[in-house]
Amino acid sequence: MKTALITGITGQDGSYMAELLLAKDYLVHGIIRRSSSFNTERIDHIYQDPHDPKPRLRLVYGDLNDASSLNRIIRTIQPDEIYHLGAQSHVRVSFDVPEYTGEVTGLGTVRLLEAIREAGLRTKFYNASSSEMFGSAPPPQNEATPFQPRSPYAAAKVYSHWMTVNYRDGYNLFACNGILFNHESPRRGETFVSRKVTKAAAKIKLGRQDKVFLGNLDARRDWGYAGDYVEAIWRMMQQDKPDDYVIATGESHSVRDLLDEAFGHVDLDWKKHVEIDPRYYRPTEVDALCGDASKAARQLDWRPRVGFKELVRMMVDSDLKQEKAKSG
Any long-range contacts for 269-272 (C-beta under 8 Å, 24+ apart)? 270/201
Is 34 inside a domain boundary? yes
228 & 212 share domain? no
Q: Work out the angle between the directed axes of helices 226-237 and 12-23 (0-180°, nearest 10).
A: 60
317 has a pLDDT exceeding 90: yes
237 & 264 share domain? no
CATH number of the domain residue 199 falls in: 3.90.25.10
Please state, rounded to an integer, the average pLDDT across all residues of the chain.
96
Task: Please confirm, yes or no, whether 130 is among the known catalytic residues.
Answer: yes
pLDDT category at 327 given cuts 50, 70, 90 is: confident
DSSP, collapsed to helix, strand or coil, labels residue 191 as coil
CATH number of the domain residue 234 falls in: 3.40.50.720
63 & 116 share domain? yes
73 & 176 share domain? yes
203 & 310 share domain? yes
Residues 243, 249, 253, 259, Cα dihedral to 10°: -110
Cis omega before residue 140 (within 30°)?
yes
Of residues 15, 130, 151, 252, which has the active-site annotation?
Answer: 130
Within 10 angstroms of residue 88's Cβ, the number of other Cβ atoms is 21
163 & 116 share domain? yes
29 & 119 share domain? yes
Percent of the chain with pLDDT over 70: 99
Is 177 inside a domain boundary? yes
60 & 86 share domain? yes
Is 282 inside a domain boundary? yes
- How far is residue 302's CA from residue 116's CA, in Å, rounded to a whole number? 28
Closest CA to 249 of 298, 180, 193, 301: 180
pLDDT category at 34 given cuts 50, 70, 90 is: confident
Q: Which residue has the higher pLDDT, 35 or 25?
A: 25
Of residues 83, 153, 225, 229, which has the active-site annotation?
Answer: 153
Task: Please confirm, yes or no, whether 103 is among the known catalytic residues.
Answer: no
Task: Please confirm, yes or no, whether 153 is among the known catalytic residues.
Answer: yes
pLDDT category at 41 given cuts 50, 70, 90 is: confident
Is 297 inside a domain boundary? no
- How far is residue 281's CA from residue 217's CA, in Å, rounded to a whole number? 10
Write down the pTM of the prediction: 0.95
258 has a pLDDT exceeding 90: yes
Percent of the chain with pLDDT over 90: 91
Residues paired with 129 in a beta bridge: 179
67 & 79 share domain? yes
State how many domains the chain has.
Answer: 2
38 has a pLDDT exceeding 80: no
Is 301 inside a domain boundary? no
HSE at residue 245, side-chain half, CA atoms within 13 A, is 31
Is 294 inside a domain boundary? no
87 & 173 share domain? yes
DSSP, collapsed to helix, strand or coil, labels residue 175 as strand
pLDDT category at 274 given cuts 50, 70, 90 is: very high
Closest CA to 205 of 323, 28, 47: 323
Is 300 inside a domain boundary? no
Domain that holds residue 268: 193-221+251-289+306-326
136 has a pLDDT exceeding 80: yes
Is 295 inside a domain boundary? no
- CA 206 → CA 152, 170, 213, 253, 264, distances in Å? 38, 56, 18, 27, 14
154 & 74 share domain? yes
Q: What is the pLDDT of residue 328?
A: 63
Q: Work out the angle between the directed axes of helices 193-205 and 308-326 (0-180°, nearest 10).
A: 50
Using a 10 angstrom Cβ sphere, with 0-12 exposed, 13-18 middle and 19 or more buried, the burial of residue 243 is middle
158 & 205 share domain? no
E-strand ranges in the chain read 3-7, 27-32, 57-61, 81-84, 124-130, 174-180, 183-184, 212-214, 220-221, 224-225, 245-247, 253-254, 274-276
Tens of pLDDT, residues 86-126? 999 899 999 999 999 999 999 999 999 999 999 999 999 99
